[in-house]
Structure 1
Amino acid sequence: MKRTTWLLAAVLIVAGCKTATYTVKDRYMYVQKNGREQKKWQLVWQEEFNGPSLDTAKWTRIQPNKADWGRHMTDKGICYDMSGGLLYLKGMVNPDTSVDKRPFLTGGIWSKGKFAFQYGMVEIRAKLECAQGAWPAMWMLAETDKYGGYPKNGEIDIMEHLNYDSIIYQTIHSYYTLTLKKKDVPPHHGTAPFKRDDFNVFGLKWYPDKIVYVLNGKETFTYPRLKNVDPSQWPFDQPFYLLIDQQLGGSWVGKVDPETLPVNMIVDWVRVYQ
């Protein structure tokens, strides 16, 4: 009986190894195995936000930084709430400027150093509230710094929304697009209409030769890997981590109207497939 049990366990282990869709580097970077591009996606990582507080094994609250998007970020609890299986990332007027002089505060999370992946599909179900100066975003940055400082490792913007727009922006940034100004060969961004007053599923499918944006299950924009161009066109061959944040203000979105605040990005779940 013991021998039979041992053999069954061995078979299950071998079968599990054969069906694995990824290898894990440094215990948190999920790299999709070669040859899976045309096979059925399998769920490899998820966050349902069902707990009483943010899972710090998966996420870190984003601290303020000097980038246009990060000037109002805070890791203070005032801009974060979890209830009913939903995460609320807030953009608000700073209620106390006696210590922190910034007029606004915003909440955001990233998986840097805790979860990253290379190739696969990511989907994020969320509702975007509107306000003048609101700039919610879901995006990805390189975990491993393979090619050097920003923008050489690239940036993948899953979704950005401005003010009261009825569309979202889906964009690729890199040394190729930003420094060499190759924004049209190939086109590096697209837009898509979305359900502004409801939950939507924002996402993309990331392959070794293209990035395909998806909104509510429909493909909307594709950024292909080109041959015979500057190699900086495709830095997307390394693990990337996730950022989800409710930004306020900046040169692109414009000034913030405090009368329209607070504003929330309400996140239901995040799922990654390979």
Structure 2
Amino acid sequence: MKLFLSILKIKPELPTRRGFLIVLFSLFLLNLACGPNKRTSSNKDISEHYNKTWKIVWEDHFNTSVLDPSKWTKIPQGKADWNNQMTDKDERCFDWQDGKLHLIGIKNTDTLVDSRPYLTGGIYTKGKFAFQYGKIEIRAKIESAKGAWPAIWMLSEENRYGAYPRNGEIDIMEHLNFDNIIYQTTHSYYTLELKQKDNPQYYGTTAINTDQFNTFGLEWYPDKLVYTLNGKPTFTYPKVDGVDSSQWPFDQPFYILIDQQLGGSWVGDVDLEQLPVNMIIDWVKVSQ
């Protein structure tokens, strides 16, 4: 537009024909800038396209007294901080009340069967459901305790780019101890190994009322991850041009994990006297 305005400043002494030609040329440039040839693709355009067409493709309201085996698997014990206290065998870590699933961190009173001092429950859709792009929302209530670390997150269904963390990790919600905030974080080889945590910013925090149910969500587009709380955007992680390709492994299907984690280097020690602690799941919905 600045170019167009500068061209229109025709000096009075210019011949009429020459001035006429310059005006025609300037109008041609304006048409290029504002007409149908202008590139119209933008993050907002992509978002609006998806928002207008999203429909629920997968959901669970936990209205039965057992876990739906076609959708979920109980998370077994692992060796990482997040899953070394998980159990898929102790039913005390899973309960259903009023159409809601309770994932429970408990003090272990039977150390002859399992020597760990505390146990906890979690579920995932690994091998049963994964999706690429769309919207996921989880309505849940999280309780607080020293060493409690409830999380809602996603991992890649396949190792397309190699071993972790090359396929990325999407943490829709993590809560620590008695905090009045949640963390929403994007992990990858780019952030963890290359230490690129500010280009772009890889996590955000948002205030939360843990006395009530909240809806934790993610809107996943081909060019950005938009984290939400109660339907409102809270933090955006965009795909960035001109950086290492490991910045964006989020072009493949991911599965869902929901777990009441306990203990670890980040959250700290567990106070056994503050257990049990519940993570109460009302429903999960995925739209595309």
Point out the structure with max Rg over C-alpha: 2
Matched residue, 2:68 = 55
Aligned residues: 240
Once the two structures are TM-superposed, the CA of residue 194 in structure 1 deviates from its matched residue by 1.2
225, 228, 231: which one pairs with 1:214?
228
120, 124, 143: which one pairs with 1:129?
143
Once the two structures are TM-superposed, the CA of residue 133 in structure 1 deviates from its matched residue by 0.3
Matched residue, 2:124 = 110
Q: Does 1:226 align with 2:225?
A: no
Contact 1:161 1:168 in 2 (8 A): yes
Alignment of 1:232-247 (within 5 A): 232-247=246-261
* Paired letter, 2:67: L
Contact 1:49 1:269 in 2 (8 A): yes
Query: What CA distance in whole angstroms lies between the structure 1 residues aligned with 2:111 and 2:273?
Result: 17
Matched residue, 1:167 = 181
More strand by share: 1
Query: What CA distance in whole angstroms lies between the structure 2 residues aligned with 1:236 and 1:36?
Result: 19
- Give unpaired runs (5+ residues) of structure 1: 1-34
Query: What CA distance in whole angstroms lies between the structure 2 residues aligned with 1:84 and 1:250?
Result: 31
Contact 1:88 1:267 in 2 (8 A): yes
Once the two structures are TM-superposed, the CA of residue 262 in structure 1 deviates from its matched residue by 0.4
More helix by share: 2
163, 171, 175: which one pairs with 1:157?
171
Matched residue, 2:286 = 272
78, 85, 101: which one pairs with 1:87?
101
TM-score normalised according to structure 2 size: 0.82
Once the two structures are TM-superposed, the CA of residue 40 in structure 1 deviates from its matched residue by 3.3
SS in 1 for 2:145: coil
Contact 1:136 1:246 in 2 (8 A): yes
RMSD between superposed Cα atoms in Å: 1.0
SS in 2 for 1:220: strand
Q: Does 1:263 align with 2:277?
A: yes
Q: Does 1:64 align with 2:77?
A: yes
Once the two structures are TM-superposed, the CA of residue 188 in structure 1 deviates from its matched residue by 0.2
* Paired letter, 1:37: Y
Query: What CA distance in whole angstroms lies between the structure 1 residues aligned with 2:59 and 2:51?
Result: 22
Contact 1:91 1:247 in 2 (8 A): yes
Query: What CA distance in whole angstroms lies between the structure 2 residues aligned with 1:51 and 1:119?
Result: 29
Query: What CA distance in whole angstroms lies between the structure 2 residues aligned with 1:234 and 1:108?
Result: 27
Once the two structures are TM-superposed, the CA of residue 214 in structure 1 deviates from its matched residue by 0.4
* Paired letter, 2:115: K
> Matched residues, percent identical?
65
Once the two structures are TM-superposed, the CA of residue 103 in structure 1 deviates from its matched residue by 0.6
Once the two structures are TM-superposed, the CA of residue 36 in structure 1 deviates from its matched residue by 4.9
Query: What CA distance in whole angstroms lies between the structure 2 residues aligned with 1:38 and 1:231?
Result: 27
Q: Which runs of 4+ in 1 moved over 6 A?
A: none
Query: What CA distance in whole angstroms lies between the structure 2 residues aligned with 1:154 and 1:168?
Result: 20
